[in-house]
With several copies, the nearest count.
Chain A
């Protein structure tokens, strides 16, 4: 069974991130193993607990958490990229607990665990 890793670089207020979610959810539901999603560049904003998206718009942040809970999907956050964008695991901590605070070393791991890496 082949394994996929995904890198997300687009912010939650872009429809490009809906496509990334759609891809990951489709893969999981069809039984493909997702070794993890690595959030980089503006993608890190998906982990911001304080971000408020209008209730009638697509809730990207919530959707990632649902996938994490349902499929134990690992969500890795590049902390350097995140800190530049106002996320912090200090006090006050605004990173959603479903995300794992990581560095780029984790991306090396994902590349080696996965048969394919897809960037969004």
Chain B
């Protein structure tokens, strides 16, 4: 019963991503979009243990527009079609904005 977490805010400036991490459960999916892309290199990312099997994705053009590089060993690069698909293949959506 995974949840899709859509993260839209920079955690350097707001508490939203921290709150997302508080409710994260095994097998959940996080997608970084909009200003959420500023979180890609934030130390909080390393607190997400690999044993929890969290899928981390980024909308390509949202990161590129902001000049943010994507570490492909950590993140799955997706487009808007993939986000729509993830909406339907997970069980609920929470938007952190």
Contacts and interface: CB of A to CB of B under 8 A. Distances in A.
* A/B: CB atoms within 8 Å of each other: yes
Contacts of B21: none
Contacts of B33: 19
A115 B91 CA distance: 9
Most buried by A among B62, B87, B95: B87
Interface in B12-58: 33-34
B84 A32 contact: yes
A23 B93 contact: no
A117 B88 CA distance: 10
B93 A118 contact: yes
A53 interface: no
A109 to B, nearest CB: 18
B17 to A, nearest CB: 16
B74 interface: no
Given A15-B34, A19-B33, A19-B34, A30 B84 contact: yes
Size bracket of the B interface: 10 to 19
Contacts of B97: 9-10, 16, 119-120
A26 interface: yes
Contacts of A118: 6, 87, 93, 95
B88 A115 contact: yes
B34 A23 contact: no
Interface in A1-23: 2, 4, 9-10, 15-16, 19, 22-23
Contact of B95 (A2, A4, A115, A119): A119
A23 B80 contact: yes
B34 A2 contact: no
A30 B82 CA distance: 11
B39 to A, nearest CB: 16
A95 B84 CA distance: 29
